[in-house]
Amino acid sequence: MAADNQIESVLKEDRVFEPPRQFVEDAVLKPADIKALYAAAEADHEAFWADQARQYLDWHKPFTQTLDASKAPFFEWFADGQINVSYNCLDRHLADRGDKTAIIFEGDDGEVEHISYRDLYTRVCRFANALKAAGLAKGDRAVIYLPNVPEAAVAMLACARIGAIHSVVFGGFSAPSLRDRIDDAEAKMLITADGNYRGGKLIPLKETADKALAEGGATIETVVVLKRAGADIAMADGRDVWWHDFVADQPSECEPTWVEAEHPLFILYTSGSTGKPKGIQHASAGYLLGAICTCRWVFDLGDEDVFWCTADVGWITGHTYIAYGPTACGATQVMFEGVPTYPEPDRFWKMVDTHQVTIFYTAPTAIRALMKHGDEYPQRHALDSLRVLGTVGEPINPEAWMWYRELIGKSRCPIVDTWWQTETGGHMITPIASYTPTKPGSVTQALPGIDADILDESGERVTNAGAGGVLVIKKPWPYMLRTIWGDPDRYRGTYFGMYDAHTYVAGDSAQRDEDGDFRILGRIDDVVNISGHRLGTMEVESALVAHEAVAEAAVVSRPHEVKGEAIIAFVILKDGEGDDRLASDLRDWVAEQLGAIAKPEEVRFADGLPKTRSGKIMRRLLRTVARGDEITQDVSTLENPQILEQLQARGS
């Protein structure tokens, strides 16, 4: 664990906001309901989750055993039950909500489409039938590389319908990243689009997919291509098929494939401490239960709401709070293909008014970026339909929190700052809109049924207010990850290696204040958070050393006003000194290898890296250098102290 000196937070926050009275009066779940949930979870963890699973999920075969912890840390929930996730998201709404709008889709160019639950059901069934006809069977993997359009949700739900396992790859990822994910998952099918427009710019998805498949992806038998951009693309004979042809003759009903509760629903790759992304594997029933409970509790999501999560389906937030949670709750939601600043920086606020959004969920990086554009943009719009605001993905600074509260929520809407991870599947530590007093920058309390705590390195509880430590979850929960695809040892080592097989280590450090409220301090591993997206510094280093000019590289982050963190790369060349041109080439090279989000903000050339006598790169020193801070750490173990002066002198 990197003993980061920022573990002691200097933040002091005295502002506390109770849930607004009017909000509580109008809320679906009242404070007494939430109190009862906390009490029930406290009284009997397993019985609590079993009750939720009976209340919120429709089972084909009911479960009799709730939790099996005998193979810890490989936990099983509701294991002898049978279920189908797409049935729970679609079929069960048809009788009462068939005509209700499931998705209000707004394209990059402003086109709007309303899709009813019946319509969504039909699209999913037809696509599911086509998948089966193409030979995709239960347990087979399909990689989805699509824009944030309804077809992405259709493809995900169709996989779920037939028990196939999807792995969505964010459309901003590069060809090598896509290829690595296809290869790791040994996917049989790739579902993509000819391209799409975001912020008016063409994203050439099929072209990138073709590059990925030219260098790997040998397991892919079929490529389904959605016509979205009207881009001029190549279609490979016998392999590639247009989406519209794929579904053309398929019936509009498809019997769901009932699967065991623990059957994998999806794999989603995320960054860790090594160069190789981890395929986080989620189970069917437990995951869906988490999606439903957290939508209902945290956001107070009800039948009258218009919910909008601005994430992309390529991230876990888009899985849980677009594809699965809102649909399983039978809610109406907005789905948006574009970016917040196009055509103008009031796009979000304009859409809130147009679609009368009641619950709005976005990332701090978006809030900070929009805040910089000025108050006039939100002020152009009424924003009076809003009742709950949410944030996710990274710590939110109190200034942005207050801006969100005042300019967007008009001091009327509770803000839920939700801490969770790809691995946790859904919210873990967060205010509950109708119940929890909030504070700027605090994720407040763990949800009912979630046992969060802070430990020191020896495993003792950290109880002092303001003291930092390792954030852990001490009991399994239904929507936790089940393993890392194909690598159970890495699962055990990464998440349960620090203490014991029942103590999940999140990879974040945290502290509690005098009220016992949690504040997240940041990662304790080599993961950085750029605009709310996780990236392993090792991945960036591997990409850099793959460049012919580079001998060695070390990557760290430093705080960034809008992105939260920005990447700084220290590079040792094989030959020569390096100049601005090479620095710029290397930045582009990383973007090509990994995707635009991984592009370093700065590349610094040096003759060497600060290393311990045993040859370990001293990253915390590099972090200090990257931030331009004075070095106060102990450098006595440094093998090459002169290198530090050089690194500092070359800083910009």
Interface residue list for ligand WTA (CB under 6 A) = 270, 316-317, 392-395, 417-422, 443, 506-508, 520, 523, 529, 534
What SS3 class is residue 550? strand
CA separation, residue 464 to residues 428, 461, 513 (Å): 22, 9, 8
What SS3 class is residue 4? coil
Residue 408: CB minimum distance to ligand WTA, A: 17
Residue 179: CB minimum distance to ligand WTA, A: 21
Residue 412: CB minimum distance to ligand WTA, A: 22
Decide whether 317 or 445 has the Cβ nearer to ligand WTA.
317
Decide whether 255 or 561 has the Cβ nearer to ligand WTA.
561
Q: Which residue sits closest to ligand WTA, CB atoms considered? A: 422
Decide whether 508 or 526 has the Cβ nearer to ligand WTA.
508
Decide whether 12 or 613 has the Cβ nearer to ligand WTA.
12
Quick one: 616 exposed, middle or buried, by C-beta within 10 A (0-12, 13-18, 19+)? Answer: exposed
Residue 443: CB minimum distance to ligand WTA, A: 5
Q: Among candidates 233, 145, 147, 144, which has minimal Cα distance to 197? A: 147
DSSP-assigned letters across all residues of 495-527: HHSSS-TT-EEEEEEEEE-TT--EEEEEESSSE
264 forms beta bridges with 283
Quick one: 304 exposed, middle or buried, by C-beta within 10 A (0-12, 13-18, 19+)? Answer: exposed
Q: What is the dihedral of CA 496, 263, 316, 41, to 10 degrees?
A: -60
Identity of the amino acid at 633: Q
Residue 486: CB minimum distance to ligand WTA, A: 19
Decide whether 1 or 36 has the Cβ nearer to ligand WTA.
1
567 forms beta bridges with 557
Residue 45: CB minimum distance to ligand WTA, A: 23
Residue 587: CB minimum distance to ligand WTA, A: 23
Decide whether 280 or 292 has the Cβ nearer to ligand WTA.
280
Residue 479: CB minimum distance to ligand WTA, A: 12
Q: Among candidates 637, 555, 579, 566, which has minimal Cα distance to 273? A: 555
Give the Cα separation of 372 and 142 in Å (integer): 40
Decide whether 270 or 557 has the Cβ nearer to ligand WTA.
270
Decide whether 63 or 287 has the Cβ nearer to ligand WTA.
287
Residue 408 contacts residue 378 (beta carbons within 8 Å):
yes
Residue 10 contacts residue 525 (beta carbons within 8 Å):
no
Decide whether 228 or 619 has the Cβ nearer to ligand WTA.
619
Decide whether 82 or 317 has the Cβ nearer to ligand WTA.
317
Residue 325 contacts residue 291 (beta carbons within 8 Å):
yes
Residue 564: CB minimum distance to ligand WTA, A: 9
Decide whether 163 or 532 has the Cβ nearer to ligand WTA.
532
Q: Among candidates 91, 120, 125, 58, which has minimal Cα distance to 261? A: 58
Residue 395: CB minimum distance to ligand WTA, A: 4
Decide whether 66 or 362 has the Cβ nearer to ligand WTA.
362
Identity of the amino acid at 578: G
Residue 604: CB minimum distance to ligand WTA, A: 25
Kindly give, in sequence order, each residue whose CB lies less than 8 Å from that of residue 318, ignoring residues fewer than 6 positions away: 148, 168, 309, 311, 312
Residue 420: CB minimum distance to ligand WTA, A: 5
Give the Cα separation of 104 and 318 in Å (integer): 15
Give the Cα separation of 565 and 165 in Å (integer): 33
Residue 31: CB minimum distance to ligand WTA, A: 23
Q: What SS3 string covers 97-163? A: HCCCEEEEEECCCCCEEEEEHHHHHHHHHHHHHHHHHCCCCCCCEEEEECCCCHHHHHHHHHHHHHC
Give the Cα separation of 471 and 485 in Å (integer): 24
Residue 481: CB minimum distance to ligand WTA, A: 10
Give the Cα separation of 94 and 76 in Å (integer): 31
Decide whether 394 or 526 has the Cβ nearer to ligand WTA.
394
Decide whether 223 or 521 has the Cβ nearer to ligand WTA.
521
Residue 612 contacts residue 637 (beta carbons within 8 Å):
yes
Q: Apex CA 316: angle with CA 310 and CA 322, to 5°? A: 45
